Chain A
Amino acid sequence: MSDIVLKTENLTKYYGGVHALEGANFELRKGEHVAIMGDNGAGKSTFVRQITAVEQRTSGKVWFDGQEVNFAGPIAAREAGIETVFQNLALADDLDVPSNLFLGREKVLFNLGPFSILDRKFMRKATEAALVRTAVKIPNLNNTIRHMSGGQRQCVAIARTATFASKLIIMDEPTAALGVQETAQVENIIRTLKANGEPLILISHNMRQVFDLCDRIVVFRRGRIVANLRKQDTDGNDIVSYITGSKTGEAELAA
Chain B
Amino acid sequence: MSQTTHGVGGLSYDAKKRTWPAEFNVFLALIILVGAFELIGRVFLGDSFLFNTRANVDTIFNEARLQIIILQVSIVGIIAIGVTQVIISGGIDLSSGSIVGATAMIAMSFAQVATVNGNPNPKAMFIEQGWTDLPVIVPVLVAIGCGLLAGLINGSLVAYTRIPPFIATLGMMVTARGVAKWWSKGQPISFPTESFAAIGKGLMPVIIFISLAILFQLIMTYTRYGKHCYAIGSNEDAARMSGINVQNHKILVFVIAGILASLAAVVLSSKNLTAQAGMGVMYELDAIAMAVIGGVSLSGGRGSIIGTVIGALIFGVIISGFTFLRLDAYYQEMVKGVIIIGAVVLDQWRQRLRAMRA
Contacts and interface: CB of A to CB of B under 8 A. Distances in A.
A147 B238 contact: no
B239 interface: yes
B9 A137 contact: yes
Given A92-B235, A105-B243, A147-B355, A114 B11 contact: no
Interface of A: 74-75, 78, 86, 88-95, 99, 103-106, 108, 112, 114-118, 120, 124, 128, 131-132, 135-143, 146-148, 188
Interface string B314-347: 0000000000000000000000000000000000
Interface in B1-30: 4, 6-9, 11, 13-15, 17-19
Contact of B223 (A74, A78, A117, A148): A117
B64 interface: no
For the complex of A and B, list the 9 residue pairs with the smallest distance between their C-beta atoms, beginning with the closest: A104-B242, A147-B358, A94-B301, A137-B7, A104-B243, A92-B234, A94-B234, A103-B242, A137-B11
Given A115-B219, A142-B15, 18 more contacts: A78-B243, A90-B235, A90-B238, A91-B238, A92-B239, A93-B234, A93-B235, A95-B234, A106-B224, A114-B249, A115-B225, A116-B225, A117-B222, A118-B223, A131-B6, A132-B6, A135-B7, A142-B17
A104 B230 contact: no
Given A92-B230, A114-B223, A131 B242 contact: no
Interface of B: 4, 6-9, 11, 13-15, 17-19, 219, 222-225, 227-228, 230-231, 233-235, 237-239, 241-244, 249, 252, 301-302, 354-355, 357-358
A112 B233 CA distance: 22
B28 to A, nearest CB: 21
5 contacts: A78-B243, A93-B301, A105-B242, A136-B6, A147-B354
Contacts of A104: 231, 239, 242-244
A89 B347 CA distance: 26
B252 A142 contact: no
Contacts of A112: 223
B27 to A, nearest CB: 20
B302 A95 contact: no
Contact of A148 (B19, B230, B235, B358): B358
Contacts of B231: 92, 95, 99, 103-104
Nearest to A147: B358
Contacts of B237: 88, 90
B301 A92 contact: yes
Contact of A103 (B9, B18, B244): B244
A35 B239 CA distance: 28
A115 B223 contact: yes
Contacts of A90: 235, 237-238, 241-242
Contacts of A115: 219, 223-225
Contacts of B9: 137
A237 B243 CA distance: 42
Given A95-B230, A143-B19, A147-B358, A75 B224 contact: no
Contacts of A86: 241
Nearest to B237: A90
Contacts of B301: 92-94
A236 B237 CA distance: 37
Contacts of A120: 222
Given A86-B241, A137-B9, A94 B233 contact: yes
Contacts of A147: 354-355, 357-358
